Structure 1
Amino acid sequence: MFKSQADRPVARRPWLSRWSDPDDTTLAVMLLAPAAILLGVMIVYPVSRLIYTSFLDLSLTSGLPARFAGLANFRQMPDDPVFWQATWNTVLITLITVPGSLVVGFALALLANLPFQVKWPVRLSLLIPWALPLSFAGLIFGWFFHSEYGVVNDVLGRIGLPRVIWFNSPRLAFAAICLAIIWKASSFMAMIILAGLQTIPRSLYEAADVDGAGRMRQFFEITLPLLKPTIVVALIFRTITALQTFDIPYMMTGGGPGTETATLAMYIHQNTVSFLDLGYGSALAVVMFGLSMLVTALYLRMIRGSGAAS
């Protein structure tokens, strides 16, 4: 028998005890729940809605209600020459600008990592291209390559070379777009690689100097191996962004001449915003989303393989 009411054990409810004094699993659920809810609202629902719309025959110009069309929107793509042109342009931009921005960004990061007494002007010069809006960068390079009063043609005229109508030639227009994208994206790559360079211990280079290793040997045996995870992360972000290229070619050429410089994102915009064909535009967006996920999976497999090998 208990002598008093105070001596009686307090019966705690199991669910209350679990949340007031959580174990590791419950604590992890509590901490991750807000992020999971946010991801569900911001990512899972829009992507699910996009996939659902891709199976509908939904054109706002027809005046007809949406109806289920199955795979009809996806079957339309193989017979659509603009789809193949835009997809090829997107892949080609990715294949050109991702390695180009990596090489230029790596060089800029190595330059910014040199022991300058005053480092902020160099690092600020890396930040400015990245901070510019994409549409503004496309507008700037559109003026640079203008056939009549662009900077590039002015320089060509001053050195005695003929002026070029850049945006009338598919190859020249495509080259101008790739140059603009590399200039814009290389600063992003440089900042990520510079952050990776800052994490490499200086003692490794000092030990290599004592062992008689030259600069090139230090670069290939210390810098590159230790920067590999940083480079892969930078490549993931840059490749996904390249697959979604829209602003710069849209501002520079509008996809012209014809559809020679149109990207998949521009074609999606044309179908959904200009033609109001939400079903087909959503199907195109699903294809672009699938390409982005495929590339991300390949990079992650590369990281996993390198981690297992090490």
Structure 2
Amino acid sequence: MTPVPRPSLLERLRDPSERLLGALLLAPTFALLALIVAYPIGKLVWNSLFDLRLSGGGVPKFIGLENYQLVFTDPDFWNATKNTLLITVVTVPGALLVGLGLALLANLPFKRRWPVRLALLLPWALPLSFAGLIFAWFFHTEYGIVNDVLQRLGLADRTDPTMWLLKPGWALAAVCLTIIWKTSSFMALILLAGLQMIPKSLYEAAEVDGATPWQQFWQVTLPMLMPSIVVALIFRTITALQTFDIPYTMTRGGPGQATQTLAMLIHAHTIDYLDMGYGSALAVCLFVLSLVVSAVYLRQVGRQAA
């Protein structure tokens, strides 16, 4: 029996199989991901293994895992990690609750709903640094609008105004409030899209069964909205772990290091101190932390899908 000649590469490209066609279509995507994701991450990990100080002018020296040993014994790293996790724990649920309320409000059957929905876009569209500068003025001790309102309402003493940005606890609270205001609109937009996907027939059936609006929310709205909530939490949590702009423009990480985040610590070592090796090690730690949190959320999404 004469063996069938194997088609050449050119013939296979002219008439590709389903598997080859899929590989060809995905090749540009893999190449783009390798260029913008794999290479920068690989370069970051590689730099973290060197003593790479741009200020010294010396030759980079391979030191292995010494930068990581310094990271885990650095009190500034643990302080920044604590602040980052605290900001994440406070602002993510806060933005979710505020965003859910805004989404429910925007989903009400108004005759003219576009002003409400347009108002959701304004905080989200405002640059982070601008939001930080605006709220830094709001929380200013002497001429800030927050102290002025509290004093007019009789909730604060005019002779002893609250030093929002000059005391560690108040500064962190001011930063968290600013982040919640800035990010709740993003959560609201995602949740609003989820609300509009819920069939109205479910509410009609629940109303026929005698369910109150509160029962409809807990038994219809919230379960159907859960996939959108998980997606919103994934994006918001990752950006919360990478918080930089708002605390940097409001407090520069102060007073002391009370509001310094991991992203700000990385910026300080790489930009201010020009220590690229140690800054890269800090960035790898932040990347791993974000990766772990994302994996936890994706596992939760997989359980809901199953």
> Is the shorter-chain TM-score for this pair beyond 0.5, marking a shared fold?
yes
Q: Which moved more, 1:78-87 or 1:21-30?
A: 21-30
The residue identity in structure 2 corresponding to 1:34 is P
Q: CA deviation at 1:21?
A: 3.0
Q: Identical aligned pairs, as a percentage?
A: 60
The residue identity in structure 2 corresponding to 1:189 is M
Q: Give runs of aligned pairs for residues 164-203 of structure 1, distance below 5 A.
A: 164-203=162-201
Q: How far apart, in 1, do the equivalents of 2:19 and 2:204 lie?
A: 45
Q: Which moved more, 1:33-42 or 1:151-160?
A: 151-160
Q: CA deviation at 1:13?
A: 5.0
Q: Give runs of aligned pairs for residues 25-64 of structure 1, distance below 5 A.
A: 25-64=19-58
* 1:220 and 2:214 aligned: no
The count of corresponding residues between Structure 1 and Structure 2 is 298
* 1:149 and 2:136 aligned: no
* 1:122 and 2:120 aligned: no
* 1:21 and 2:19 aligned: no
Q: CA deviation at 1:167?
A: 1.2
Residue of 89, 100, 123 corresponding to 1:95: 89
The residue identity in structure 1 corresponding to 2:34 is G
Q: How far apart, in 2, do the equivalents of 1:202 and 1:29 lie?
A: 42
* 1:113 and 2:111 aligned: no
Secondary structure of 1:236 counterpart: helix
**RMSD, aligned α-carbons:** 1.4
The higher radius of gyration belongs to: 1
Which consecutive segments of 4 or more residues in structure 1 shift more than 3 A?
A: 11-14
Q: How far apart, in 1, do the equivalents of 2:13 and 2:197 lie?
A: 39
The residue identity in structure 1 corresponding to 2:142 is E
Q: How far apart, in 1, do the equivalents of 2:41 and 2:95 lie?
A: 29
Q: CA deviation at 1:12?
A: 10
| Aligned match of 2:73 | 79
- TM-score in terms of structure 2 length: 0.94
Q: Which moved more, 1:156-165 or 1:196-205?
A: 156-165
Q: CA deviation at 1:22?
A: 2.8
| Aligned match of 1:284 | 282
| Aligned match of 1:257 | 255
The one-character-per-residue Cα deviations of 1:200-234 (angstroms, maximum 9, x if unpaired) are: 11111111112222212221221111111111111
Q: CA deviation at 1:16?
A: 3.1
Counterparts in 2 of 1:115 and 1:282: CA distance versus 1, 3 Å: same
* 1:135 and 2:129 aligned: yes
Q: CA deviation at 1:51?
A: 0.5
What runs of 5+ residues in structure 2 fail to find an aligned partner? Answer: none
Secondary structure of 2:165 counterpart: helix
What runs of 5+ residues in structure 1 fail to find an aligned partner? Answer: 1-10
| Aligned match of 2:303 | 305
